[in-house]
Structure 1
Amino acid sequence: MPKGYWIAHGRVDDAVKYDLYRAANAAPLAEFGARFLVRGGARELVEGSAKPRTVVIEFPSYQAALDCYASPGYQAALALRQGISESDLVICEGWEG
């Protein structure tokens, strides 16, 4: 079964309030087996355009990635992020090669 991924490019406008979102999303991410592969850090944009922050989160399955996003716990956390940041988020299925 292929893994699932959240791939986000975002911009944080209020770092203090964003920390509340981070604290709130920890439980639902853990519940669905999420693991951060990329969480900010150095990067070089070499093609196209993207917001200044990149995050990649791995889930045990594509369905787990979808279910986490739709879960009440994550939706409550997401409400804390709205208005203080902007993101483009794609949930995608991994490739097993």
Structure 2
Amino acid sequence: MTHYAIANLQNVNVGPDIVEYLESIDATLAPYDGHFIVHGHQPEYVEGEWAGTLIVIEFPDQASARGWYDSPAYQAIRPLRTNNSDGVTMLLEGVDRTHRATDVLARS
């Protein structure tokens, strides 16, 4: 099942460390077939408020998402981001195209 790495970053200090992080992250994603599907574009707010910048990276499965996050290559550059921003990062399983809203009721 498709997995996602999702981050909501705030207070990003766009300096040399963040530039290095951005220049390096794509190479860490490639071995795990990860790719950005949302990366920092300004949203159109239609309800409520949101603080921060949303990033979503798609992976083919949980093993790939976890493998990327735990990889020595990513862990080496991770402090470039975490030392220069605040935020929340998570790994999350997606749903397939047959998913319906009421499917969550079966999990309750």
**Same fold judged by TM-score > 0.5?**
yes
Output the aligned Cα RMSD. Answer: 1.7
- In the TM superposition, structure 1's runs of 4+ consecutive aligned residues that sit over 3 Å from their partners are none
Q: Number of residues paired by the alignment?
A: 95
Q: How many angstroms apart in 2 are the aligned matches of 1:13 and 1:30?
A: 26
- Give runs of aligned pairs for residues 14-93 of structure 1, distance below 5 A: 14-43=14-43, 44=45, 46-47=47-48, 50-93=50-93
Q: Could you give the per-residue CA deviations for residues 33-80 of structure 1, whole angstroms, max 9, x where no partner exists?
A: 111110001112834x65421001100112211110000000001022
Note if contact 1:9-1:50 (Cα within 8 Å) is conserved in structure 2. no
2:9 maps to 10
2:102 maps to none
Displacement after TM superposition at 1:17 (Å): 2.1
If the length of structure 1 is used for normalisation, what is the TM-score? 0.85
Q: How many angstroms apart in 1 are the aligned matches of 2:35 and 2:14?
A: 24
5+ unaligned residues in a row in structure 2: which ranges? 100-108
Identical counterparts, % of pairs: 29
- Structure ID, larger Rg: 2
Q: More deviation in 17-26 or 71-80?
A: 17-26
If the length of structure 2 is used for normalisation, what is the TM-score? 0.78
